[in-house]
Amino acid sequence: MSYPGSPDKDPKVQQRILAAFREAVRLYQDGHRDECQTVLHSILEVDPAFRPAQRLESAIIQGLPVDLASLLGDLAGEAGSQVEGLLSQARQALAERNFSRAAELAQAVLRELPGHQEARSLLQQAQAALKAQSEVATQLARARQALAAGLVEEAKGFLALVRGIAPDHPELAELESLVASQTAEEAAMVEFETFTPPPSPPPPPPSPAHRVELEAPWENAAPKNTSGFSFDAVGEVPTFSAEPAVPESPEEKVAALLAEGQEAFDRGDYAQAVDVWTRIYLIDPHNQEAERRIEQARRRREELDRLAEMKYAEALEAFEGGRLEEAKELLQEVLSLQPQHVDANDLLARLETPSAPPPLRAELPAVEEDLFRDDFVPQEIVSGESAAVSEVPLEERAVPRPVRPAVKARRLALPLPVMVGVGVAVVVLVVLGLVLGG
């Protein structure tokens, strides 16, 4: 690309000036003329001979319209063939429905020539197609689900939306042929079900002479029962025919789903109401009433969840404070709002389960209590004291002393390892004494 400015500038400086000018053109196109003029002033300070900046700044100051195509002609220069190749590839990608590739190529052209009209047009087409592609994919998926469920009319509605957005989509013809085949099968099934064969004529009654001849021997055998069962042919034979069921219209199905969801909403089952109202989108993807009711049910559900959490926090506080009855009442309120609350069910089960009595405190034997007393004295010492009582003066004997129960003396049993260690120590000391004494 030829540089439309001072040729003695360093190539790196030239590239920075061209990048700054592209930014100025973008700001001008977006309507930010003050910022654009600031960038142009900076460019002209570095290279006063840069012609595109001169022309654009002059047009902004004088308030004249700017022909960006002619203005950017100075920047095109040697890049004309390269830009034309990028545009050709972008057109081909757009025709092949490769919209992301077309957008990338158009953006590459606009980075070199920010005001290129065809590149901007191709970019807008690619971006709009990418946005519509997501909606088309959603409607095609809904049409497949409706066909799998046998909802032919709903599938037709989804395919009509696809035809309005992308009439040349390759999957549209395939799904429409499936809809047509299922419609033909349903029509044949209805025709088969509504066919009723003509009623067969009743058999002729037997002649009177024949009846008399047959019944004569039995006339006197038993009296006639006029109210009994008879094999005589009746006048009319009832016939049954399957009549075709009248299919409901989409409006009637939507109204039925709205009413069913409202019943669940009125009894407080908001999750069931949302589930029922969501099925309306298979019939009418843009039903505003279903969207409004679903949002209302979700808000009500969130309010109940918040209230249940508040009640549970109060119940937990009452439980920790020892107010068990109050905690139980609050937990029952929580479960009435949210029956599946795990923590509330757990805490209520703990409150309703009777706890086992605490274990009794083990009493120490009297002998062991004496062992741990500060004034414990062994039996031998007590016997010595009793022997020496005679030596105590008479006035001291007159003072009564508390009677202590006799405690049987215990032998202190040492563990075997300790005894072995003591023995080894004694032997070592004896050996050392002999060695030092010798």
Q: Is residue 57 within 8 Å of residue 44, measured between CB atoms?
A: yes
Q: Where are the domains of the chain?
A: 1-71, 134-194, 250-352
Q: What percent of the chain has pLDDT over 90?
A: 2
**Tens digit of pLDDT for each residue in 377-388?**
555 554 444 444
Q: 3-state DSSP call for residue 269?
A: coil
**Tens digit of pLDDT for each residue in 193-219?**
454 555 555 555 555 444 444 444 544
- Protein fold of 250-352: 1.25.40
CA atoms of 78 and 189, how far apart (whole Å): 71
Q: What is the CA radius of gyration of the chain?
A: 53
Q: 3-state DSSP call for residue 187?
A: helix
The whole model's pTM is what?
A: 0.30
Q: Please report, for residues 94, 147, 175, 354, the alpha-carbon distance to residue 182 in angstroms, rounded to integers and kept in the order given.
A: 34, 9, 11, 65
Of the ranges 254-268, 357-371, 378-392, the best mean pLDDT one: 254-268
Q: What H or E segment, with its residue span, contains residue 330?
A: helix 324-337
DSSP state of 392: S
> In this predicted structure, which of 13-27, 173-187, 249-263 has the lowest mean pLDDT?
173-187
Mean of pLDDT values over 84-101: 84
Name residues whose C-beta falls within 8 Å of residue 110's C-beta, 6 or more positions apart in sequence.
Answer: 116, 119, 120, 123
CA atoms of 87 and 325, how far apart (whole Å): 79
pLDDT (0 to 100) of residue 290:
87
**Tens digit of pLDDT for each residue in 346-366?**
888 888 876 544 444 545 455
Query: Sign of torsion, CA 98 102 105 107?
Result: negative
Name residues whose C-beta falls within 8 Å of residue 88's C-beta, 6 or more positions apart in sequence.
Answer: none
Name residues whose C-beta falls within 8 Å of residue 305's C-beta, 6 or more positions apart in sequence.
Answer: 338
